């Protein structure tokens, strides 16, 4: 099975498949602060910090290519000026080609990529495969081709857990979700003959201000149409690698 190896302490993973070393991140949400300011939430731009963090990870891991599992931008539809500026600065400094799997926030990303004239390949929302690994954002059903991969990587959920200390204080932590691909929901959607791989990996959001799905809080619904049913025996892991056990029992 192709390995999806989280980078310790980072919302990113290294995937080696088809002779390539990929750095994979999800839910970058460029320009999120500008959109939030328009809604009355005052936040300084985190663009320089996001950019330097991502560039550092590309250099640290020696990646041949960057893969973004959707929501590279934040505003739904035509990207705002702040988003365009952030992407221009990022791709101007990025030395690796990029594969972007479209997310629900990336609806009109292609003209921006064309204007920037950068080495970015855009894959459809249903996803794409690189060797033995399938990549999809997760806001819609992955294609049968993606599901047939040994490992399927998705995003969209921004999974987080609430952790409590001895005195009742709580904190929010981003987590990875990993488990077996449960065939039933995918075969119900695509047909009984749909081939389904072995592992499903749900990535944490790269952007730390974008909120998330509380996976261990009662009454919280998942966003992806195939979750939680498509994730069997799902385990939660903190960014530092700590295994928390079943995500719904943390």
Domain boundaries, the chain: 11-249
What Rg value do the Cα atoms of the chain yield, rounded?
Answer: 17
Angle at 153 between CA 133 and CA 218, to 5 degrees: 155
Contact 24, 153 (CB under 8 A): yes
Residue 193 neighbours by CB distance under 10 Å: 7
CA distances from 226 to 69, 123, 154, 167, 212 (A): 16, 20, 11, 36, 17
| Cα separation of the two ends of the chain | 27
Adjacent-strand bridge partners of 14: 5, 23
CA distances from 159 to 104, 140, 146, 202, 213 (A): 17, 17, 21, 8, 5
SS3 9: coil
Per-residue pLDDT of the chain (250 residues; tens, 9 = 90+): 568 999 999 999 999 999 999 999 999 998 888 777 777 777 777 889 999 999 999 999 999 999 999 999 887 666 667 888 999 999 999 989 999 999 998 888 998 888 888 899 999 999 999 999 999 999 999 999 999 999 999 999 999 998 887 666 678 899 999 999 999 999 999 999 999 999 999 999 999 988 889 999 888 899 999 999 999 999 999 999 999 999 988 8
- Tokens standing for 91? 């791709």
Architecture in CATH of 11-249: 4-Layer Sandwich (3.60)
């Amino acid at each position: 099975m192709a390995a999806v190896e989280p980078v310790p302490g980072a919302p990113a993973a290294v995937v080696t498949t088809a002779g390539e070393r990929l750095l994979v991140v999800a839910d970058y949400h460029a320009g999120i602060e500008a959109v939030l300011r328009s809604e009355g939430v005052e936040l300084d731009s985190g663009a320089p910090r996001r950019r330097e963090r991502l560039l550092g990870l590309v250099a640290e891991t020696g990646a041949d290519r960057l893969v973004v599992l959707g929501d590279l931008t934040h505003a739904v539809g035509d990207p705002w000026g702040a988003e365009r500026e952030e992407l221009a600065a990022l791709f101007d400094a990025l030395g690796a080609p990029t594969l972007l799997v479209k997310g629900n926030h990336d609806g009109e990303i292609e003209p921006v990529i064309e204007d920037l004239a950068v080495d970015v390949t855009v894959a459809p929302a249903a996803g794409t495969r690189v060797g033995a690994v399938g990549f999809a954002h997760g806001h819609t059903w992955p294609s049968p081709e993606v599901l047939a991969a040994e490992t399927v990587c998705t995003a969209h959920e921004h999974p987080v857990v609430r952790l409590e200390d001895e005195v009742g204080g709580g904190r929010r932590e981003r987590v990875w979700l990993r488990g077996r691909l449960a065939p039933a929901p995918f075969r119900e959607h695509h047909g009984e003959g749909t081939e389904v791989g072995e592992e499903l990996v749900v990535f944490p959001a790269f952007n730390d201000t974008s909120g998330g799905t509380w996976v261990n809080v009662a009454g919280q619904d998942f966003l992806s149409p195939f979750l939680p049913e498509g994730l069997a025996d799902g385990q939660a892991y903190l960014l530092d690698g700590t295994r928390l056990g079943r995500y719904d029992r943390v």
